Structure 1
Amino acid sequence: MKISVSWLKEWIDTIPEDLSDRLTMAGLEVEGIELAAPKFNGVVVGKVVELVQHPDADRLRVAQVDVGQDALVQIVCGAPNVEVGIKVPTALVGAVLPGDFKIKDAKLRGVASSGMLCSAKELGINEDASGLMILDEDLEVGADFRELLDLDDEIVEIDLTPNRGDCLSILGVARDLAAITGQAVDSVERPEIKVESALTKAITIEDSADCPKYLGRVIEGVNPAAESPLWMRERLRRSGIRPHGVLVDITNLVLLELGQPLHAFDFTKVEGDITVRRAKDGEKLKLINEDVVTLKSDTLVIADHQKVLAMAGIMGGEESACDDATTTIFLESAWFNPITIAGKARNYGLHTDSSHRFERGVDFELAEKAMDYATALIQKYAGGKAGEVSQALDVNLLPKREPVKVRFYKINQIIGQQFTKYDINTFVNRIGNVTEIHDDYLVVIPPSYRFDLQIEEDFIEEVARLNGYDNVPVSFEMVSQILMTKVPESKVTLADFKNILVGRGFHEVIEMSFISPAWQAILDPNKTAIALKNPISSDLSVMRTTLLPGVLGAMDHNLKRQQTRLRFFESGRTYNGTLENVVQELHIAGAICGTAAPLQWGVDARAADFFDLKGDVEALLKRTGRDDFRFVPSKREILHPGQSADIQLESGEVVGYLGKLHPSVIKALDLGRDVFVFELNYELLAQSETPKFKELSRFPVSKRDLALVVPPEVTTQMVIDVMKGQSKPRKYLTHVNLFDIYVPKTDKAETTSKNMAFSLTFQNREESLKDVDVDTIVEEILADLGVAGVSLRQ
């Protein structure tokens, strides 16, 4: 939420110089501070006095502008909305606009121009470049524009926790700041509204538990052509809201200032009286954002006798919305039960300022004051006659503010400080109404706007917060026993795998377990992901069945920011099954792209390939101490055939896979380059072989090299398996290593046989190995290879 400091000053006397630190240490985390507009100077309020067509340019006109000096200033302007009588920001010669743009005397198509009439975009105020920024008629000509609008005002952006809905307004932040600094905050004055209209609407609420309080007022004779004053538009802009017209602007202003959402219906489009009820299954509503939603029976709506008018507390409908012809409105101010509103906006893929507040709880005593405040603003800037306020009210169903007993010793015990009774009473009185003070405790009633204050511990936390979390003493007294967790030597920890990957140049990423259904369908098309009942957004609505969306999402983010060599990994759980029976597995996945090594003078730049990633994966597998892993061709749809493999145990169980992403996947994800990925099931790899000492042999090894011709359908793994002996291990054979491979080029479409060279190592640990024994084993190997179609190269 964005807070204007100048607006805040209207509610509290003194703003501390260390405002950012004060708010952050009080739990209202400040994410940033910026000025209301970029730095510029030399801009004043100018009034166009005369206007003639440029003699040599159809789109240019020559204006004589009064800038409060003795003589008029001539300025050539091409804005479509320039006309005689308007007041606009005028940059004089010597002015410096945002972007270090300096204004000088110039000639445009032969006509002298001594300044510039400015749009809001040229001053960095907003993105509107469609025409000049039109100012209010009552502004003084020649006044410094920056000072007039207080554009050195600081805008503080605050990140609020969900329990602090009371601070979603200027008034709320002012109240909290007053409590922190020991000041008083101005009270919300309720203006007197003269009733001049007899028009009204009766209100019916089907279930008062959903809406214990609903107020409505008709205002007739509103001027639809009225414009919001500049100060109002500026306050909205500084809060991150675009102006939309005087009626919407006023309701938005009240929402931002007081925290009470309001809504204005076009009175003539409401047929009959107002009913607050649950929607009927299948009812449709076209919202003001032009989305058409099919309503569910758990959604609270505002309706007339014929149709649904709005989703209560969320968004109004287009059919009853105010437009440029609206002269009579029905203004709504209500308190909706947070439980009824919570999650409903997200169910329809929506999030509005109103739902954001109603879900967290709005001050249930504020509706009447907000209604009158908005009415007074409407009458002031758009005219109109106000009618009586119609209301439906069930006091018994409004939130109860029960007295809370707060014990003095408990506060000092938990916080670890020795507060006096006076100190505690002072702090608690700033955020509640202390009704009784006893020797050992006091009784306090929480205010109507603080739904987070319900039990004694809540007020204890408030005492610590208002006194300053940085003032809480540090205690070194041990109050718990620390036990060392035993980690079996035979277990490979996740940290072991992470350290290996980091050592090989990978960076860890941590992503959410929720992913986009589109990415899920692309990266794991054969599994049905678990859909969330209440997703935080439509792009994060299913649980991941693979870690690749997170890793590749981080890669996509970096690739789009000119990062070319990337090596990422992530560890976390995947979720399969159903929402009622979730199967969770701990996985570790990674991806690489770009060059195999960082750019340097000693190594030629080479694009990373399948074997680079295979080396990384083999380093992880080696940490387990097992040697029964086999790489077999993978048939996964997301991987490129011929550059992919499944990783199996001798039992045939698949523990992971690796390979190059299929071109169709690269295109669908818009990655724009070759990417190689892997994913391993950590739980199947966590159990390792405990290292055992083996005495070094005193006898030499014997080596044999075999040059083989291998048919295209026979894989390297198949050849190695035959050499080692599929059913019975070869005696004395200790190691097999492929050290050369060559595939002859051919113009024919069919694949050809491969030439492969293997080095075989033999050793007898009991005595020196004889050549005849080695020759016998080699002959057995060649005979078994011959069965598979592999022959010795001549």
Structure 2
Amino acid sequence: MQFSEQWLRQYVNPALDSEGLGHALTMAGLEVEAMEPVAAGFSKVVVAEIVSVEKHPDADRLQICKVNVGTGELLQIVCGAPNARAGLKAPCALVGAELPGFKIKQAKVRGVESFGMMCSAKELGLAEESNGLLELAAEAEIGQDIRALFELDDKLFTLKLTPNRTDCLSIVGIARDVTALTGATLSLPTISPVAAGIDAKQTVTVSEPAACPRYTGRVIQGVNAAAATPDWMVRRLERSGVRSISAIVDITNYVLLEQGQPLHAFDADKLQGGIEIRYARAGETLVLLNEQTIELQPDMLVIADNAGALALAGIMGGDSSAVSNDTSNIFLESAFFAPGVIVGKARRLNFSTDSSYRFERGVDFANTLPALERATSLVLEICGGEPGPVIEILGSLPARPPVRLRIARLTSVLGISLTAEDVIDVLKKLDFSYQRNDDEFEVTPPSYRFDIEIEEDLIEEVARLYGYDNIPATPPQAELRMLPSAEANLNRNWLRDSLAASGYQEIVSYSFVDESWERELLGNAAPIALKNPIASNLSVMRTGLWGGLLETLMYNLNRKQERVRLFEIGATYFSHADGYSEVTRISGLAYGDAAPEQWAQPAREVDFFDVKAEVERLAGGDALYVAAQHPALHPGQTAQVVLNGKAIGWIGKLHPKWQQQYQLPRSAILFELEVEPLLKRKVAQYTQVPKFPPVRRDMAVVVDENITIQALMDTMRSAKNPLINDIALFDVYRGKGIAEGKKSLAFLVLIQDTQKTLTDIEADAVMASLLDLLVQQHGATLRN
């Protein structure tokens, strides 16, 4: 909302300068986004009249002008403007005047003395371009300061209003708020009913009273539509960002800005029959004032006559009934349209108007008729004519139910103690009617405050008027206690710290990804599609994090980073028959050498087992790895990670086709795990350090190639022999001495008794029992 400060001060003039007024508005919730002068600074420029003109003796394009500046003595000024002529009134910068960028001095121009300069709009900083002197009205007073003539000592305020403050989308609304804030006297234009001078009426039918609860209008005959819009009105419109078009259109725009009530003027002679407010019919089209032809939809409210739609109600008028300079009879309309009927329609048509912006947020339905009377009086004043009687069709207007305000609740929310008298003072300033019952109020908001619906809205009003600066900033006070934290529960930061300690760097990527990633990289044929994606390559919700890691890897490789370690903790999204779910995952990528280049260690490419060590640490060493297939990972070098009997993720080498597609010189190792299972750990328990030494025995067995090492480990551990301290694999052999389709696995077994020293016979018995289990369940044979 942009407006002229001088216009506002005509209605309310607080004892504040421009900066103070801007601060007061901002601190009251009406943020002043910008405040700038309407014109560049200049001085000693007055209205002058060229009395005579003669050709310069030494320059074809220059003229010597005798100029009356109101001092009683004519000044000689050399001027090169093509429109300089006797009788013209134009701005004159006197000697000593300061214009934007330069200062006027007495000078000789081609040998002729010049005592000032006749000015164009460009030279005064009032226009970007100009073709000659700024021509002033014939009635302009000679010698008057140009700044006073054009009211240039003015500032433009631009408010960044929140959507709920539609009452301040008008000068009157802002003036009401300034009065409440400062206590200054409110002096609004007097609006009196205009008496009908003729009996002419326009027949109106409201077929949709719920969509248009109030409709008013009147015929005005014999107007001079070609009349010039007064300069004061043009200035106010232009300083509010509205271009002057014609007198009647300017008047409707002026009342819109002043009162906040959109109006529309129809050329009455172009109307065919009565007017009807109805919804559009199938197949109807309308050419709007912006020359856009639209196909009307059944949910669009229109103003129509017998021939069809005339205007899109509350949004924009139609071209067929628009007023022009030839118009002599008009039908002036002022209506209240329900916000729900207007909202979204202009946006659907890819434009916005001042009318739709206000109607879809709610305008003052009590001001519909006064705004019509205000516009009528301005039309008669500027364009003449004879007004007909007012037509008003009234339906069920929006209810304004009272809102309860409790002093106790007010104190609790604001943190300050206010009395009932303080609240009454605020309500009176806002002109809110109320009923008091001890420390409670039943407040009925006025028709122009659509935003007052709940108790918190009234609390906000009290805070605004009391002054946010007057509410002390009290630090919160709370008892500090150590909260219980279960030892078995880890924090996500532990996962971050663990990978960061291993040289991994965290990234953050979009939750929106390319559909091809989901379909091809993760094998998700039906990802969750976004209704309004921000880009074509960010059209679905991700079910995995690898896409972002691979994209970041390419970014680093393109910048000559040959060793990359990345991880991300982020949400993934899944669709189910009964709705959607969100799962937080941790994903990692390793690329390049296993260790940074150094002299003491030969270079080696990172492999599956390097990354598996990181996963083992994250999973607490309790995870199982089951061979599986994944569309993003290399067949035969892929495992599903299982923790406590549940599959929680994947680890593997990038599939060769993806390595080729991303043009990677080497392959990458990836993993991805669900976060929640990783945060549950077994609590460590103390056991006494044994006094007796352990016994190590080694056992090598030959088994079929298809038998997994994990299966053998699980079998031996299932014996749960109390003497067995640990079992570990230390060698895998295939080759000479081992039959085709077989492999040799060597295990170390630590045997220990906490009560005594073991004998060889006891240790041998333990090893024999383990071998028997392997023979029986896996067909293993002891390797000699």
| 1:94–1:347 distance in 2 versus 1, CA, 3 Å | same
Partner residue in 2 for 1:11: 11
Partner residue in 2 for 1:33: 35
| 1:213–1:83 distance in 2 versus 1, CA, 3 Å | farther
The amino acid that maps onto 2:79 is: V
| 1:399–1:325 distance in 2 versus 1, CA, 3 Å | same
Spell out, residue by residue over 1:450-480, the C-alpha distance to the aligned partner (whole angstroms, 9 max, x if none).
1112333322321122101222242634499
The amino acid that maps onto 2:462 is: V
Matched, 1:294 2:303: no
Partner residue in 1 for 2:518: none
Secondary structure in 2 matching 1:9: helix
Assess if the C-alpha contact under 8 Å between 1:545 and 1:576 holds in 2.
no
Secondary structure in 2 matching 1:10: helix
Assess if the C-alpha contact under 8 Å between 1:210 and 1:337 holds in 2.
yes
Partner residue in 1 for 2:445: 446
Spell out, residue by residue over 1:530-561, the C-alpha distance to the aligned partner (whole angstroms, 9 max, x if none).
445xx9xxx999985489xxxxxxxxxxxxxx
- Distance, in Å, in 2 between the alignment partners of 1:307 and 1:372 is 28
Assess if the C-alpha contact under 8 Å between 2:527 and 2:575 holds in 1.
no
Spell out, residue by residue over 1:598-652, the C-alpha distance to the aligned partner (whole angstroms, 9 max, x if none).
xxxxxxxxxxxxxxxxxxxx99x99998999x9x999xxxxxxxxxxxxx97557
Measure how far apart 1:45 and its partner are: 2.2
- Distance, in Å, in 2 between the alignment partners of 1:332 and 1:410 is 44
The amino acid that maps onto 1:241 is: V
Measure how far apart 1:343 and its partner are: 1.5
Q: How does 1:377-392 map to 2 (within 5 A)?
A: 377-392=378-393
Assess if the C-alpha contact under 8 Å between 1:212 and 1:393 holds in 2.
yes
Secondary structure in 2 matching 1:41: coil
- Distance, in Å, in 1 between the alignment partners of 2:58 and 2:575 is 74
Matched, 1:470 2:469: yes
Assess if the C-alpha contact under 8 Å between 2:652 and 2:671 holds in 1.
no
Q: State the identity %.
A: 40
- Distance, in Å, in 1 between the alignment partners of 2:176 and 2:483 is 46
| 1:435–1:505 distance in 2 versus 1, CA, 3 Å | closer
- Distance, in Å, in 1 between the alignment partners of 2:671 and 2:98 is 61
Partner residue in 2 for 1:45: 47
Matched, 1:168 2:169: yes
Q: How does 1:353-752 map to 2 (within 5 A)?
A: 353-394=354-395, 397-473=396-472, 474=474, 476-478=476-478, 491=492, 530-532=530-532, 544-545=539-540, 650=651
Measure how far apart 1:211 and its partner are: 0.7
Counterpart among 73, 76, 81 of residue 79 in structure 2: 76
- Distance, in Å, in 2 between the alignment partners of 1:142 and 1:510 is 66
Spell out, residue by residue over 1:639-673, the C-alpha distance to the aligned partner (whole angstroms, 9 max, x if none).
xxxxxxxxx9755789x9999999xxxxxxxxxxx
Measure how far apart 1:206 and its partner are: 0.5
| 1:468–1:683 distance in 2 versus 1, CA, 3 Å | farther
Partner residue in 2 for 1:196: 197
Measure how far apart 1:358 and its partner are: 0.9
- Distance, in Å, in 2 between the alignment partners of 1:50 and 1:624 is 99
- Distance, in Å, in 2 between the alignment partners of 1:225 and 1:371 is 21
The amino acid that maps onto 2:388 is: G
- Distance, in Å, in 2 between the alignment partners of 1:570 and 1:64 is 81
Gaps of 5+ in 1: 516-525, 548-568, 590-617, 635-647, 663-679, 692-726, 730-764, 777-794
| 1:103–1:136 distance in 2 versus 1, CA, 3 Å | same
The amino acid that maps onto 1:276 is: I
Secondary structure in 2 matching 1:196: coil
Measure how far apart 1:208 and its partner are: 0.8
Assess if the C-alpha contact under 8 Å between 2:76 and 2:113 holds in 1.
no
Partner residue in 1 for 2:319: 318
The amino acid that maps onto 1:26 is: A
- Distance, in Å, in 2 between the alignment partners of 1:16 and 1:510 is 49
Measure how far apart 1:314 and its partner are: 0.8
Assess if the C-alpha contact under 8 Å between 1:31 and 1:159 holds in 2.
yes
- Distance, in Å, in 2 between the alignment partners of 1:498 and 1:41 is 69
The amino acid that maps onto 1:275 is: E
- Distance, in Å, in 2 between the alignment partners of 1:124 and 1:481 is 66
Partner residue in 2 for 1:246: 247
Secondary structure in 2 matching 1:377: helix
Measure how far apart 1:686 and its partner are: 9.8
Gaps of 5+ in 2: 514-525, 543-566, 588-609, 620-624, 634-648, 664-669, 682-706, 710-727, 737-784
The amino acid that maps onto 2:151 is: D
The amino acid that maps onto 2:444 is: I
Spell out, residue by residue over 1:170-214, the C-alpha distance to the aligned partner (whole angstroms, 9 max, x if none).
111111111122344234521352433443211111011111111
The amino acid that maps onto 1:44 is: V
TM-score, scaled relative to structure 2: 0.64
The amino acid that maps onto 1:115 is: M
- Distance, in Å, in 1 between the alignment partners of 2:672 and 2:316 is 47
Secondary structure in 1 matching 2:39: coil
Partner residue in 2 for 1:597: none
- Distance, in Å, in 2 between the alignment partners of 1:291 and 1:383 is 32
Assess if the C-alpha contact under 8 Å between 1:286 and 1:292 holds in 2.
yes
Instruction: Give the number of the structure whose alpha-carbon radius of gyration is greater.
Output: 2
The amino acid that maps onto 1:16 is: L
| 1:60–1:311 distance in 2 versus 1, CA, 3 Å | farther
The amino acid that maps onto 1:271 is: Q
- Distance, in Å, in 1 between the alignment partners of 2:324 and 2:484 is 69
Assess if the C-alpha contact under 8 Å between 2:530 and 2:541 holds in 1.
no
Secondary structure in 2 matching 1:309: strand
Spell out, residue by residue over 1:670-705, the C-alpha distance to the aligned partner (whole angstroms, 9 max, x if none).
xxxxxxxxxx999879998999xxxxxxxxxxxxxx
Spell out, residue by residue over 1:411-449, the C-alpha distance to the aligned partner (whole angstroms, 9 max, x if none).
334333332222221111222443534433344321111
- Distance, in Å, in 2 between the alignment partners of 1:683 and 1:151 is 68
Assess if the C-alpha contact under 8 Å between 2:78 and 2:109 holds in 1.
no
Secondary structure in 1 matching 2:25: helix
Partner residue in 1 for 2:99: 97
Matched, 1:215 2:211: no
- Distance, in Å, in 2 between the alignment partners of 1:60 and 1:149 is 28
- Distance, in Å, in 2 between the alignment partners of 1:541 and 1:479 is 51
Aligned length: 611
- Distance, in Å, in 2 between the alignment partners of 1:118 and 1:359 is 43
- Distance, in Å, in 1 between the alignment partners of 2:93 and 2:659 is 62
| 1:90–1:193 distance in 2 versus 1, CA, 3 Å | farther
- Distance, in Å, in 2 between the alignment partners of 1:62 and 1:571 is 80
| 1:386–1:415 distance in 2 versus 1, CA, 3 Å | same
Q: Name whichever of 426-435 and 67-76 sits farther off.
A: 67-76
- Distance, in Å, in 1 between the alignment partners of 2:26 and 2:208 is 41
- Distance, in Å, in 1 between the alignment partners of 2:370 and 2:63 is 49
Partner residue in 1 for 2:238: 237
- Distance, in Å, in 1 between the alignment partners of 2:118 and 2:570 is 58
Partner residue in 1 for 2:521: none
Assess if the C-alpha contact under 8 Å between 1:76 and 1:111 holds in 2.
no
Partner residue in 2 for 1:341: 342
- Distance, in Å, in 1 between the alignment partners of 2:662 and 2:49 is 64
Measure how far apart 1:570 and its partner are: 13
Measure how far apart 1:281 and its partner are: 3.1
